[in-house]
Structure 1
Amino acid sequence: MSRLVVVSNRVTVPDKTGAAPAGGLAVALQAALEERGGIWMGWSGNSSGNEEPGPLEMQEHGAITYALTDLTDTDVEEYYHGFANRVLWPICHYRMDLAEYGRKEMAGYFRVNRFFAQKLAPLLKEDDIIWVHDYHLIPLAAELRQMGFKNKIGFFLHIPWPPADVLFTMPVHEQIMRGLSQYDLVGFQTDFDLDNFGGGLVREGIGERIDGGKKFSTFGRTFKGGAYSISIETEIFSKFAIKAEKNAMVRKARQSVEGKDLIIGVDRLDYSKGITQRIDAFEQFVATNPDHHNKVTYLQITPKSRSEVPEYEQMQRMVAEQAGRVNGAIGTVDWVPIRYINRSVPRPVLAGLYRLAKIGLVTPLRDGMNLVAKEYVAAQDPEDPGVLVLSRFAGAARELRGALLVNPYDIEGTAHAIARGLSMPLDERKQRWQMMMDHLLTYDINRWCDDFLKDLIED
């Protein structure tokens, strides 16, 4: 059996006890790597200042070799904060207005991908299967091909892929698409993303879809494309939620909302998550449903994200001020309508909080998948499940048919969905939840991993 080599911007290394880190993706990739034996290579998260990074730091855990590299300050600024997160991230999330293209940052992005390829090359064997992850590393296959590697190389994009009219606002869109053409399989989260990619090739006149749309022909290469909706470790997360009912923090949370319905939102602090629109919708819900005054609490958990990028710093202030304004306007001496937490909460505790919540409010303006939606469903009590209110612009909306789908830009519509969810009869809640849970038990994170690798390996 061929070895598996995973390459990602950041590497999730087990702790000193050898335990797998929290998070379905890390668990699934580690399982695949353990099965085949392999390497997981990427950035350590550390900077070497202005000095060129030294040799890879190699760590052995079972059948897996973790290979970590530092980056220079310039690399981090141009590759990571610059092109990846100020150009690719906003463009892929349909925010052309926030894209800050600079030739220096673009050059840094391609330079760091070349650096990754050079670091990886001495570790590779002829029959290794290489799996590259996400928007940071799109040009990596092209760099490896230029060095003569003919291995099977797959790529999975964890974020959305935009339609042609959005993508073409990026000055180097053709170079990015040319980079993707060097893979043997390009995986997207949804069929919409896959269609956007194929449509862009056709619109630009640089390629076509063949073999019933399962393959692409462009830049002199033919390669496969597919939709592979990433998921969670459904059964494990469900057990987390049951066990978490005894957790001290979860017990305190339950006591503090006694007699009130809990609504929960969990998002990394990012402009794509629709947090400000969500707070507006909650305020609208309370304003139009006075019978819910002092009977509902909205808990928004939002860890800080990319604080070095100015847009994120500005957003952190905006969300905190907005939550404070709403609490000041509609709160009372004994009722704080919005609880806003600006730090991480341990995943097992999150599972318990999801289980307490009558509404899971997941309303991104645009999202590749959104695993919070899937975690919320998996955490529910089958005898008294909550209701998932989900943005139709999240990839998860293509799968979770039992959710109440909303347009996050429609404040009144989202407010109405909150009210509907809180008043939904038990039988309907059970029916909707069961439909989603059955799907998640079948299409879990291991199925996602197996399906992608099977398609990559097969000719």
Structure 2
Amino acid sequence: MMAYDDACGERPRLFVVANRLPVSAKRTGESSWSLEMSPGGKFNLLGGVTAQFDTKWVGWPGFDVYNEVEKNALSKSLAEMNCIPVFLNEVFDNITMVIAMKANQMFLDVVIENYEEGDMIWCQDYHLMFLPQYLKDYNSKIKVGWFLHSPFPSAEVYKTLPSRSELLRSLLTADLLGFHTYDFARHFVSTCTRILGVEGTQEGVVVQGRVTRVVVLPEVTQQMNELKERFAGKKVILGVDRLDMIKGIPQKYLGFEKFLEENPDWRDKVVLVQIAVPTRNGVLEYRKVKNQVHGLVGRINGRFGSVSSLPIHHMDCSVHPNYLCALYAIAGN
């Protein structure tokens, strides 16, 4: 998406289309809801861009509403938060490619209903890979972008998808495609050249003389470099789990401790980074797991760590998507 200078006057409109709206809704009456912005996730990640525009969010509200009166009431409440709902009640029961295409068509219908000439559309994530083509088929002059919030696989992995060509062709109708890292962007371009036989360039992918630009989110690259410097010379093992009884974090730490005991040569060459997202802190069993995990971290770091290096980096919190993606990018390398 292009940058915008406030001195230019009225801000252009940007529709951010995602599988979920950035709000949490709680029913307060038969046809009334209490709404608040959802914390974290892709919405924080996009904030630096969306602040430059008159931004409207389009997405599923997160629950099914069947009654037309309730739909109208919810839509009115969401409009006050610049949100436009897509009601997907009939298509979420059994996910197939046909259903995914139908869902993308329903997103298109809502966008078209609200679109005005000059608006820009920014599609989000793998849920809406068909939407760029649908938008361009409706109006080839619409400025369309798409951003992937998860890793894009190598061509060897991607080619196992049954609708691999159709998805790529749809994305390549967009004007701009965004990825978290250079590796993910490179995987995408390479996949297009190998599966579709199109030309890849430094700018992106060329299809019949038209260039679809492929770009990387700069914040992630910077954080990747910082993490690489911090963990230079070490193998990074990454864990991202909720901190509860079934995720096996204590067992993971016990296994890591056993590995360090039996492989002393690895003690200064490997680090385990564990993000343990808090959950249900008011429940006694969950607090017990948290205390157990903290005890193991202290014991293992005390046994095998030093002033300058700790084998376990444990975080009891959610982390910003940029930072998380940077961790994913360096882990295992």
Q: Name the TM-score class by shorter chain.
A: 0.5 to 0.7
In 1: Cα distance, 2:275 partner to 2:185 partner: 35
What is the CA distance between 1:46 and its match in structure 2?
Answer: 1.5
What is the CA distance between 1:142 and its match in structure 2?
Answer: 0.9
What is the CA distance between 1:112 and its match in structure 2?
Answer: 0.7
In the alignment, structure 2 segments of 5+ residues that lack a partner are 1-10, 26-32, 224-237, 263-273, 297-309
Structure 1 residues 286 and 336, CA, compared in 2 at 3 Å: closer, same or farther? farther
1:148 aligns with 2:139: yes
Structure 1 equivalent of residue 55 of structure 2: 38
> Match for 2:155 among 164, 181, 189?
164
In 1: Cα distance, 2:175 partner to 2:207 partner: 12
In 2: Cα distance, 1:183 partner to 1:278 partner: 45
In 2: Cα distance, 1:112 partner to 1:77 partner: 12
SS in 2 for 1:145: helix
Name the aligned partner's letter for residue 187 of structure 2: N
The alignment covers a number of residue pairs equal to: 260
SS in 2 for 1:159: coil
What is the CA distance between 1:204 and its match in structure 2?
Answer: 2.1
In 2: Cα distance, 1:278 partner to 1:395 partner: 25
Structure 1 residues 288 and 77, CA, compared in 2 at 3 Å: closer, same or farther? same
In 1: Cα distance, 2:322 partner to 2:133 partner: 35
In 2: Cα distance, 1:300 partner to 1:30 partner: 25
Name the aligned partner's letter for residue 75 of structure 1: V
Name the aligned partner's letter for residue 360 of structure 1: H
Structure 2 equivalent of residue 217 of structure 1: 206
Q: Deviations over 1:276-313 (max 9, x none)?
A: 699445423157559xxxxxxx9944769xxxxxxxxx
> Match for 2:327 among 376, 382, 396?
396
In 2: Cα distance, 1:28 partner to 1:165 partner: 29
1:66 aligns with 2:83: yes
Equivalent pair of 2:241/2:277 in contact (CA under 8 Å) = yes
> Match for 1:12 among 3, 22, 25?
22
SS in 2 for 1:150: coil
Q: TM-score, normalised by structure 1?
A: 0.48
What is the CA distance between 1:397 and its match in structure 2?
Answer: 5.7
1:134 aligns with 2:65: no
Structure 1 equivalent of residue 234 of structure 2: none
Percent sequence identity over aligned pairs: 24
Structure 2 equivalent of residue 75 of structure 1: 91
Q: Deviations over 1:366-423 (max 9, x none)?
A: xxxx747938xxxxxxxxxxxxxxxxxx64365x7xxxx556xxxxxxxxxxxxxxxx
> Match for 2:255 among 283, 301, 326?
283
Name the aligned partner's letter for residue 224 of structure 1: R
Structure 1 equivalent of residue 271 of structure 2: none
> Match for 2:313 among 353, 357, 360?
360
In 2: Cα distance, 1:163 partner to 1:115 partner: 30
Equivalent pair of 1:299/1:339 in contact (CA under 8 Å) = no
In 1: Cα distance, 2:35 partner to 2:60 partner: 20
Q: Deviations over 1:182-210 (max 9, x none)?
A: 11001111111111111112212431113
Name the aligned partner's letter for residue 127 of structure 2: H
Listed as ranges, the matches of 1:152-301 within 5 Å are 152-210=143-201, 213-218=202-207, 221-228=210-217, 266-267=240-241, 279-280=251-252, 282-285=254-257, 288-289=260-261, 300-301=276-277
In 2: Cα distance, 1:135 partner to 1:289 partner: 42
In 1: Cα distance, 2:20 partner to 2:45 partner: 16
Name the aligned partner's letter for residue 75 of structure 2: E
Q: TM-score, normalised by structure 2?
A: 0.63
Structure 1 residues 49 and 219, CA, compared in 2 at 3 Å: closer, same or farther? farther
Equivalent pair of 1:265/1:301 in contact (CA under 8 Å) = no
In 2: Cα distance, 1:185 partner to 1:373 partner: 19
In 2: Cα distance, 1:24 partner to 1:395 partner: 14
> Match for 2:75 among 35, 53, 57?
57
Greater Cα offset, 193-202 or 30-39: 30-39
Give the alignment's Cα RMSD to 1 decimal.
Answer: 4.2
More helix by share: 1
Equivalent pair of 2:185/2:216 in contact (CA under 8 Å) = yes
In 1: Cα distance, 2:209 partner to 2:186 partner: 20
In 2: Cα distance, 1:17 partner to 1:75 partner: 26
1:374 aligns with 2:305: no
SS in 2 for 1:7: strand
Structure 2 equivalent of residue 26 of structure 1: 43
What is the CA distance between 1:177 and its match in structure 2?
Answer: 0.3
